Amino acid sequence: MTGLSRRDALTGAAGLAAAALAGGAAAAPSRAPIPYGSAAQIQTFRADPRYRDALKRLCDVIVPMNDLKWEALRHDRARFDFSGADELVDFALKNGQALRGHALLWGMALPPWAKEMASRAEAERELTRHIETVVDRYKGKIATWDVVNEVIAFDPKPGEPYRDTIWQRLLGPGHVEIAFRTAARVDPQARLVLNDFNFEEAGPGVAARRKIALETVRRLKDKGIPIHGVGMQAHLYAENAIDSDGVRSFVADLGKLGVDVEITELDVIDWKLPADTAARDRTAASLVSTYLEAVVSGGQPKAIVTWGLTDRYSWVHDTFPRKDSAKARPLPLDEDYRPKPMMRVLDQYRRGRS
Ligand code: G3I
């Protein structure tokens, strides 16, 4: 089975319900299908026809991996380079797929000139102009924006909720509000998301990060600044356990504030697992299953997006190389685009349960 096509996903639900009833087993609570998607990298998209085919066949949602970042759009201060982003957006629209935009404000992947901004006025002017231009261009095309990415401090200290980025240094904590306010003004229909990582495991640092996300949502809401979701990147470390209770209550607490979650960059970092590939794939699938079960028990996510589709291409290879130089296996398809156990777990959430 090469991963469910979009049409299959929806017809599968009926079969499952019948099986559950025939078995007399207590029917598991029903659950609506959750759109599945992947990040797409332009160089690979242009070079590998199997990559394009898999994106078209398997995804309800597409997110340009790098082409909507400042580094790609603004390598020249005077103009915007939409070449890569336009190509991926057109591909998705042609295939009736939803689009996520990543990311309007991030402290990394900035062009050299942006790293040299020197005043509050300059930073606010450039940030506002950037968001106005990019969001306006894709109005009605990109439904969801990661308005801010990785703004929460990695290991938060009291009174220092946000990461030490050029935006925080020049604009203070208000950089988050400026970004959301501007995006909402330009496209009032767009779904606006705060995207970040490390919400999945146990520990005081992670608990503090969840608290800052909740406080940020509450503050924006109190100020009447639109925010609709929190993106949980979910780069999962296979050697670490999922804090299921923590994840469930985080998602539920966000729900009480009127925002929902989406899984935005799911993959599994297996650099510390024994080399056996079948065992690694089983471990990765069960970790993803444990994580997604915790999320959905807190609230229905808007989408589940993996940070790529096939083990052939992933940032994990360079960033988390294995000591035994065996290749990492972070994604739902193996190097030859064959579905792994992780894909079957994702299919279950995509199908839903009636
Ligand atoms: O496009 C240029 C190319 O013209 C140039 O020849 C080449 C060599 O320098 O670099 C290319 O740009 C690279 C880009 O990926 C496209 O391949 C950048 O150097 C490289 O830094 C960039 O890496 C991306 C990284 O974010 C930084 O933007 C990774 O592919 C991408 O997987 C990674 O994704 C991030 C999410 O955005 C946020 N969360 C964590 C995640 C993993 O780090």
Q: Which residues pair with 235 in a beta bridge?
A: 267
218-241 pLDDT tens trace = 999 999 999 999 999 999 999 999
184-204: average pLDDT: 98
151-192 pLDDT tens trace = 999 999 999 999 999 999 999 999 999 999 999 999 999 999
> 104 in helix, strand or coil?
strand
Give the CA angle between residues 159, 299, 39 to the nearest 5°: 80
Atom of ligand 1 nearest to the CA of 319: 43
Atom of ligand 1 nearest to the CA of 109: 28
Query: What is the rounded average pLDDT for all residues in the chain?
Result: 93
Output the pLDDT for position 329: 98
Q: What is the whole-number distance in angstroms between the Cα of residue 66 and the centre of ligand 1?
A: 6
Closest Cα to residue 240, out of 297, 194, 283, 301? 283
Active-site residue, 239 included: no
273-323 pLDDT tens trace = 999 999 999 999 999 999 999 999 999 999 999 999 999 999 999 999 999
Residue located nearest, by CA, to atom 14 of ligand 1: 66
Please, what is the angle between helix 174-186 and helix 204-222, to 10°?
Answer: 50
261-276 pLDDT tens trace = 999 999 999 999 999 9
Atom of ligand 1 nearest to the CA of 308: 32
CA dihedral 140, 144, 150, 153 (to 10 degrees): 110
| Upper half-sphere CA count for residue 254 (Cβ side, 13 Å) | 32
Output the pLDDT for position 26: 61
- b/e map of 323-337 (b: 16 or more CB within 10 Å)? eeebbbbbbbbbeeb
Helices (H), 33-151: 42-47, 49-58, 70-73, 83-94, 112-115, 120-137
Q: What is the whole-number distance in angstroms between the Cα of residue 71 and the centre of ligand 1?
A: 9
Supply the pTM of this predicted model.
0.93
Give the span between the Cα atoms of 354 and 338, in whole angstroms.
28
**Which band of pLDDT confidence, cut at 50, 70 and 90, is reported for residue 3?**
very low
**Which band of pLDDT confidence, cut at 50, 70 and 90, is reported for residue 140?**
very high
Give the span between the Cα atoms of 92 and 102, in whole angstroms.
15
Q: Are 83 and 43 in contact (CB under 8 A)?
A: no
Q: Which secondary-structure segment (H or E) carries 217?
A: helix 204-222
Active-site residue, 265 included: yes
Q: What is the whole-number distance in angstroms between the Cα of residue 200 and the centre of ligand 1?
A: 24
Q: Which of 150, 177, 200, 262 is catalytic?
A: 150
Residue located nearest, by CA, to atom 16 of ligand 1: 66
Q: What is the whole-number distance in angstroms between the Cα of residue 308 and the centre of ligand 1?
A: 13
84-91: average pLDDT: 98
**Which band of pLDDT confidence, cut at 50, 70 and 90, is reported for residue 354?**
confident
| Residue found by looking up tokens 């808007």 in the block | 302
